[in-house]
Amino acid sequence: MNLTIAEILQATQANLIQGNLNTVITQVSTDSRTLKKGDLFVALVGEKFDAHNFLEGVCQQGAIGAVVSKPVAEFSQLAPPIIVRVNDTLVALGDIANCHRRKFDLPIVAITGSNGKTTTKDITTSVLGQRFSVFKSEKSYNNQIGIPSRLMQLSEVDEIAVLEIGTSWPGEIERLSQITAPTLGVITNIGPAHLELLGSIEGVAEEKGALLTHVEYAILNADDPMTPRLTGHVCGQITTFGWQNDADISAGEIEIDSFGKPTFTLTISGKEIDRVHLPCLGKHNIYNALAAAGVGLWAGLTPTEICTGLERFQPADMRMQPIVHNDLRIINDAYNSNPESLKSALTFLSDIEIAGKRIAILGDMLELGEHSRTLHLKAGQVIPTNIDLLITVGPHSRAIAHGAEGRIESIISCDTPKQAAQELIQYAQPGDAVLIKGSRGIQLEQVLEELMHET
């Protein structure tokens, strides 16, 4: 990063309270705990915190300046050399990131959707990495803090960028699209996620579709019933992926091995390319692979490069992550959960070949708003009947247990992951398969940690 204070003032429409216009900023920080000497500190304000309270500390740590929305004198007796005053520091953070992004004439791939964003981002990075130096968003940092903070690390060595774009409320994807200025947009699917603020699945489609008004090229899921709602947002060319309906990029002759890993024949524009063996679990990940193949095709990669990238992808932790412990076959999908991703994970558990019993440990699905009880209840009502034990964790998931009554022989409801782990330890036997899945806020990875510690 290499921005002058003058450039930052122009990008943010800010006022310079003190400092030199020609000072060059090479690093921006929003976290006083990790701030380094010479950083420009952006004092964000949230529901439960106000980073203006940390101004004195960041001055002592050597911050070169601060972007603030309140008078510094109210919060600190020390003032950094540079003070930039804005109306909203979160907006300013995005504006600074956009200013930095505009210095690079490189394509940016933006990926959003209700499920599969992170996996699709990682597979796409693997595919594009067969030819290019790829810049990607880290982990699931896909919001108005994570995306700008990562985008400001873009450098001259990067040839193409792959960013995951998330949302929690109306207008967030529009804002992130303004910040990132993407070239290509991928929407993996539209499902009942973040309903608490988006209201309905139609609201989800409208929010996700905002990305498409900013791109020259779009890749959409031909098998998703909400896709027709999205096409009107697209100004440029559309490529589709899927295997149930006609699609530009499709999968045929799908097979799932005894470990649960899929193999399929990749087909592009009706031409069979090659057999692809995915290193990740679950048939649903074929959709993510097809979307990534579409990005590779758009970027000009050869079919061989695309197939190689698909097969060399390294799955992330806590996303259908296979673990074997004391001959227990564990599927750690504890990173997040919503109705559609839960359905896919339960289908996987139901279909895999195992010697023992099937156990599902399911936590609350958060951010579903007024639809929460209905969607949890419905999840239980359609749970596969060959699951031998259902353990729910959290108050909302008790509705899953209620819905599963009469379908599942053994059901236990727990308040905490630790309680769930103790129930699992008592019940599980070598040869059993265990699915662990819940929203991030439930932290069901603690079940695995407790299991590893106790056995």
Q: pLDDT tens digit string along 410-447?
A: 999 999 999 999 999 999 999 999 999 999 999 999 99
Helix axes 417-427, 445-454, angle to 10 degrees: 50
CB atoms within 10 A of CB 246: 10
pTM of the predicted structure, to 2 decimals: 0.94
What tokens does 292 get? 């990534």
275, with CB counted inside 10 A (0-12, 13-18, 19+), is middle
Among candidates 334, 400, 392, which has minimal Cα distance to 373? 400
Q: CA 235 from chain center: how many Å?
A: 25
Angle among Cα 331, 332, 338 to the nearest 5 degrees reads 105
- The SS3 call for residue 335 is coil
410/427 Cα distance (integer angstroms): 10
pLDDT at position 76 is 81
Reported in sequence order, the residue ranges of 64-195 that DSSP labels E, i.e. its strands, are: 65-68, 82-85, 108-112, 134-136, 160-164, 184-187
Q: Please, what are the domains in the chain?
A: 3-89 (3.40.1390.10), 104-312 (3.40.1190.10), 321-454 (3.90.190.20)
At 191, give phi and psi (nearest 5°).
-145, 180
| 10-residue averages of pLDDT along the chain (455 residues) | 97 96 97 95 95 94 96 85 97 99 98 96 99 92 95 98 95 98 98 92 96 97 97 91 98 94 97 97 97 99 98 94 95 96 96 95 96 97 97 98 96 98 96 97 96 89
Residues 195 and 368: beta-carbon distance below 8 Å? yes
